[in-house]
A and B are shown apart, each in its own frame.
Chain A
Amino acid sequence: MRAALSGDQEAYQQLLVAITPHLRTVARRSLSVSAAADVEDVVQDALLAIHLKRASWDATRPIAPWLNAVVYHKAIDALRRKGHRGEVEIDSATDIAAAALDGDRAIDVETALASLDERQRLIVEQMSIQGRTAAEVGSALDMSESAVRVALHRALKRLARRFNGSNS
């Protein structure tokens, strides 16, 4: 994380990939069994928060408690959101098992993505799913590289608000 904070993208990628299974474990433990389908949702929400709030980690302290606090907070949020909607889980046991096995299921991020405008969504999709760089996306969309970066950052903040907004 220290390398990542100084701008090392490769180190950052390795870190995020490495912590994801841990986040998943904490999320699964925090949510009840019936909410197994939401685990990946919480993981992605937590990753987004870890990214946007990375300045709130004190680099002189170990990172694990900070990571745990973020996931735990996001898991509680997800539970509260469900409670708020009064949603009743009627998943059958097989559904739960399937959801638990299929860690990478596409769930609520898709809904959140739908709240972005056309160009923001295109940028997020191209830079994530297709793994293109800001320069490549920029030339495809006839935007400057820095404009693409700004648009990506705005899109991510909007996603974060979207995750949050549905429970307020």
Chain B
Amino acid sequence: MKTDAFIQALVQDLTTPVVPVAASLKRVMPLAAVSTAIAFLVSAGLRPDLLASGLKPTAIKVGLGLLLAVGGLLAAVRLARPDAAIARSAPLLLLGPAFALMAVAAELVTGGAGTWQSRLWGHSFLVCLMVLPLLAALPLIAALYALRHGASTHLEAVGAVAGLGAAGIAIVTYGLFCNEDSALFIATWYLLATCIVCLIGAVAGRVVLRW
């Protein structure tokens, strides 16, 4: 078919609207986040001492989760454009890790330095490493679905960044349940679990985000 004729078909199709990535994300992400949170908190429950003793560590977890979720999803919207530069989104991606590092520094300064090893290992890091990626599954699927409307030229990067956002949502939910109170534990294991989700996102993105 000649290119000029082909253009005619495209012009005729202009009446069918196309969905921007941001609009699609806005539609599916709240749904995925809320259903993940409800499903998990109904089956596992909030930590019993949430109000009594756990507010500060919980605030760190929720804060970290929100920063990762917002930073990751905003960066994903940017990277979904074919002419995006990865470097320009880097500050968004570093929000969460920077926050976690600050929390760790604050704890090392104020808390006793002697017991840092036992606080780092905690008592549930395996649960954390398994449950967080599971909780991120639905948000990651939703994010990749929305990103299929985009046209990224860095498929793995945008998949990984979607994983970051999804892990953030998982952390907000899991943080209301988890009773590990050390910033050392949170920074280490939560972020390691986040890396696992990013890796899955990168591998999946490579396949499902082709255009």
Q: Is A66 in contact with B83, judged by CB distance below 8 angstroms?
A: yes
Residue of B nearest to A62 (CB): B83
1/0 per residue B71-83: CB within 8 Å of A?
0000000001111
* In the complex, B66 has a CB within 8 A of chain A: no
Grouping DSSP codes into helix (H, G, I), strand (E, B) and loop, the A interface class, with mixed when no group exceeds half, is helix
CB-defined contacts of B6 to chain A, threshold 8 Å: 44, 47-48, 109, 128
Q: Which bucket holds chain A's interface residue count?
A: 35 or more
User: In chain B between 1 and 52, which residues have their CB closer than 8 angstroms to a CB of chain A?
Assistant: 1-16, 18-21
Q: Is B11 in contact with A16, judged by CB distance below 8 angstroms?
A: yes
* In the complex, A83 has a CB within 8 A of chain B: no
Q: Is A49 in contact with B12, judged by CB distance below 8 angstroms?
A: no
Q: Is A17 in contact with B81, judged by CB distance below 8 angstroms?
A: no
Query: CA separation between A136 and B149, bound complex, in Å?
Result: 30
Known A-B contacts A66-B81, A69-B83, A69-B153; A44 and B12 likewise in contact (beta carbons under 8 Å): no
CB-defined contacts of B12 to chain A, threshold 8 Å: 9, 127-128, 133-134, 149, 152
1/0 per residue A113-132: CB within 8 Å of B?
10000000000110111010
Q: Is B14 in contact with A47, judged by CB distance below 8 angstroms?
A: no
Q: Is B9 in contact with A156, judged by CB distance below 8 angstroms?
A: yes
Q: Is A9 in contact with B2, judged by CB distance below 8 angstroms?
A: no
Q: CB within 8 Å of B: which residues of A? A: 4, 7, 9, 12-13, 16-17, 20, 40, 43-44, 47-49, 51-58, 61, 65-66, 68-70, 72-73, 103-104, 106, 109-110, 113, 124-125, 127-129, 131, 133-134, 149-150, 152-153, 156, 160, 164, 168
Contact of A55 among B5, B15, B21 (CB under 8 A): B21
Residue of B nearest to A112 (CB): B1
Q: CB within 8 Å of A: which residues of B? A: 1-16, 18-21, 80-83, 149-151, 153, 207, 210-211
Known A-B contacts A53-B82, A69-B83, A133-B12; A20 and B7 likewise in contact (beta carbons under 8 Å): yes
CB-defined contacts of B5 to chain A, threshold 8 Å: 128-129, 131
Q: Is A127 in contact with B153, judged by CB distance below 8 angstroms?
A: no
Known A-B contacts A7-B14, A124-B9; A104 and B83 likewise in contact (beta carbons under 8 Å): no
Q: Is B11 in contact with A13, judged by CB distance below 8 angstroms?
A: yes
Q: Is A168 in contact with B210, judged by CB distance below 8 angstroms?
A: yes
Query: CA separation between A58 and B151, bound complex, in Å?
Result: 12
